[in-house]
Structure 1
Amino acid sequence: MTLEQRLLRPFTKAKYLSEENYKRYTAIIHYLYQQHEVYYAPPSLPITILEFIKENDVLGFFGDYDLSKLEADLNMLESWGNVISHQDSGNVSRIEDFNRRKLRYQCTPETIEIERMLEKMNSQINRVKGSLDSNLVNSLSNLMIELETYKAKSYFKKEERKELNLLWNQIFAQFDNLRKDSSDYLGIIHSRNIDDAMQNKEISAFRLKFTEYLTGFIITLQKNVHIIEFSIKEIDKDLIHRVITELILEHKDKPSLGEPITDKEYLEIYMNQWNAMKKWFKYDEYNERFVDYLLKQKSIIIKKSKNATMENICEILKNINPDLNKLFKSEINKNKQGQKIISALKSLNNLRHSFAHGILSEKVYLSDIEKYFTQAVKMIIILDSVIQLFSEEQNTTTQQVG
């Protein structure tokens, strides 16, 4: 449904969740949804719906609920498009029985989807969700390379079109999983519990395992991001519109009982998918892309898990990219105050450790801490300039390859 359609016509199918008698409506829909989703049962008679509601009234909401109120509620739900009624003509042998036959009810497809969504939301609330599966990144990279091989195709046979449709679905299934799981995981690692765990000395095993987990994902993403970006650029040149044309033809060959989708609507659906992936992996006119934000957030979390010693900084940079670590060491060595900066950083960490454990063996003056801090800040300035330089070099290399 487009934005214009939503603005012109209110979505009444969700009214049963918030109207005055929402408890009654929700109980009816829940029963009909279970009949469809769990038991694959035929449409239900009002009397069986009422019996279920009465028997499962744990909270005591339905003490005075009767068949006439239920039928009025079913009529309201049908007017909103939540249920469909069917004449029950089974076991009818006389005309008068046929005229008195009862109605059976079932949920509409849209209501079933609403209930599925609510069920999914409820399951996510009750469990920790989100993961960073390196295999998703590897798989997506390989699938993009496979899609790129279709450049040589000028004509698609029917079977090839089916294979292309399957490949497209696999690509965006992997991409959606990567996008959703990463987003959910970011929410988890930004929580206060994780932040406390990273600073807690008593659970260093967790910190180590968690850091290795994130670092492994970053390494895999770093290795594949340029491959995926290059594939997107190549496909974007002249292949993407040919691919989408074939995908539209494949869908139009399939029989559908619903309202037919126009070529323009199909084109919009596929281009939205494609553009979403481009925003993730390809630099835009502002030299930004979503995947860089993801990498940045992961790096921040990793940094939280370790003290800012020279060794730990180099280890993190090496895990992200060995060339970045080499560049950082080179810039430190070229700096006239390089050794003073490293010494100041070490002194700050020693003081932090001594203060934390109450084991100061000598007097410490504020002027000393200020001097160490002033020197150590220069490390951050160097690190920032190195990352900026490295990013510019990577962008130049990618553009030359493209």
Structure 2
Amino acid sequence: MKPLTEVKYLNADNVSRYRCIMRIFFDNYEKLHYWLYQEDVFEALKRDPHFEDYRMEQCQQDLAMLTEWKNLNTIQDTRKVASIEEFKNKKFRYQMSEYSVEIERLVIRLENLFVEGASLEPTLLERIRRNVERFPAMAEKDTGEVYTWWTDLNNDFVRLNQNYQDYIRDLNSVKAEKMMQTKEFLVFKDHLIDYLRNFIKGLQRNVGAIDEELRLLPDEIKQRIFDKIVDYELSIPRMDVEVSRGKISEKTIGRYQSIYDWFVRENGQENEAAKLFDATNDIIRRITRYAAQISEKNAMGANRREEYRKVAEMFMKCKDIREAHKMSAMVFGLEQPFHIKGDLIRETDSMNQSVYEEMPLDIKLKPRVRTYREKTNRSAIRESTEDKKEARKRILEKQREEMEKIQALEQDGRIDFANLPVIEPRIREILLKWLSNAVEDSTSMARTERGRRYFLDRSREQEKCVIHCEDGNLTMPHFQIVFQEEVK
């Protein structure tokens, strides 16, 4: 709750002098030249025409004020003192304080805020995914390598989070809204949409993999990695700073939890990645809507005078009235056209699709007379008993093969979803149907298609398991189907 006196120089009466002095100190700090004399500061200011009338007394007062505000640290220089009088007239060396260094860095960032700007980088998502995939391997590495990997992961995550918030904020600003309503916006509209869609593809490719890696990561491996990070932090020598193991551990776990909450969706709660996906799609829809409005506005306000003049010249070049009638039919349409209306099913809703690219619609015209009757074709009744028997035989054979495959998965009268081998999609459908029937029953019991009774064991429902299928992997609760009857 204490006031920050270190920022007073940014808004004081002589702010132009204070800020220039602090910038001189910061530029030298960047060059590893930490200590400056009063004469060094004075000479640097005098090189600027703005400080042509600047005096040494003013420089001394300014340095004293900055020292009082704790922006500068001072130490008396006694190396070249030759008399008591020189010792009394203290000659100081000045150095920036830690707060001042960070304040100047912040000011420089604010000065370049609209120059640098923000961006959406799919490469950050890929780097985060690769680092998250290295979680299990890091448990066996030494503390130095683990700390470097952990620092890279956190830096990428911070950049991703800050960049997406700044970029989405810029696109939702009042300035962006006004620009989207101008004709100039149409020039780079497609480029902006491609940029956003490319980022969405990066989201779709990486977020799901990161989600699964973080959810399936064992607590034991996480704790071993956290301990190595804390050990390395404690081994770093620090000046005048005391750190406890509890605080460092709390900070490390908090950073991991932030990454976990950003990518993982739990208990139906929307994570930050899903919010970013929705926000990006909403911006694309808004850009498209504004572009369509601008195009319609331009079309409504177009000047048709030159078009009419050109058409009139074409009419004047016609040889006779018959050719003029043909020209009129082409320009204005037929005078009495026939309209045939049909129940046409379009394959696309694109407004750019030509009529000639549409599929034709066949219309059967019937005579308009009362005596017209549609001709009926006589056909014999076909005997399809053999075809039905053959089809039934194929269905039963397929069911028998499926049951044999399912029976092969059964061990001691039960099917454990956590211990299944790689299965076919059809076998997975049957097992999930049995599972659904038992879940819907209040007693968790049901029967198979062949009447075999089974019970759904939900004792380990809180655990997760992965079913490996030929067409992908399915993560689900750990269920077991327990049969009450033997195979008939």
Task: Sort the TM-score into its range (normalised by shorter chain).
Answer: 0.5 to 0.7
TM-superposed CA distance for 1:138, in Å, is 0.9
CA–CA distance in 2 between the matches of 1:200 and 1:242? 57
2:232 counterpart residue number = 250
Contact 2:34/2:96, CA 8 A, preserved across alignment = no
CA–CA distance in 2 between the matches of 1:255 and 1:128? 35
Q: Deviations over 1:336-358 (max 9, x none)?
A: xxxxxxxxxxxxxx999976769
Instruction: Compare CA radii of gyration and give the structure with the larger one.
Output: 2
Contact 2:35/2:93, CA 8 A, preserved across alignment = yes
Q: For the aligned residues, what is the CA RMSD?
A: 3.6
Match of 1:25 among 9, 18, 22: 18
Match of 1:303 among 285, 297, 302: 285
Q: Deviations over 1:130-187 (max 9, x none)?
A: 1122111111111101123345x4xx6xxx1111101101111111121122122112
1:188-337 matched pairs, under 5 angstroms: 188-191=170-173, 194-195=176-177, 204=186, 206-235=188-217, 237-283=219-265, 287-306=269-288
TM-superposed CA distance for 1:288, in Å, is 1.7
1:43-192 matched pairs, under 5 angstroms: 43-56=35-48, 58=50, 63=53, 66-92=55-81, 97=86, 100=89, 102-125=91-114, 127=115, 129-150=117-138, 153=140, 160-191=142-173
Q: Deviations over 1:9-63 (max 9, x none)?
A: 33222222234443443232222222222x43352222332343344362x7x84
Please state which structure has a larger fraction of its residues in strand. Answer: 2
Contact 2:180/2:287, CA 8 A, preserved across alignment = yes
Q: TM-score, normalised by structure 2?
A: 0.55
CA distance 1:222–1:31, change in 2 (3 Å): same
TM-superposed CA distance for 1:215, in Å, is 0.8
Contact 1:225/1:281, CA 8 A, preserved across alignment = yes
CA–CA distance in 1 between the matches of 2:248 and 2:49? 46
Q: Deviations over 1:362-382 (max 9, x none)?
A: 9xxxxxxxxxxxxxxxxxxxx
One-letter amino acid of the counterpart of residue 76, structure 2 = Q
Please state which structure has a larger fraction of its residues in helix. Answer: 1
CA distance 1:102–1:272, change in 2 (3 Å): same
Which protein has greater RCO, CA pairs closer than 8 Å, 6+ apart?
1
Contact 1:199/1:304, CA 8 A, preserved across alignment = no
One-letter amino acid of the counterpart of residue 166, structure 1 = T
| Structure 2: runs of 5 or more not aligned | 305-331, 334-465, 467-472, 479-488
User: What is the number of equivalent residue pairs in this alignment?
Assistant: 310
Contact 1:229/1:281, CA 8 A, preserved across alignment = yes
CA–CA distance in 2 between the matches of 1:20 and 1:398? 67
Contact 1:197/1:207, CA 8 A, preserved across alignment = no
Contact 1:148/1:231, CA 8 A, preserved across alignment = no
CA distance 1:242–1:96, change in 2 (3 Å): same
Secondary structure of the residue aligned to 1:400 is strand
CA–CA distance in 1 between the matches of 2:297 and 2:19? 58
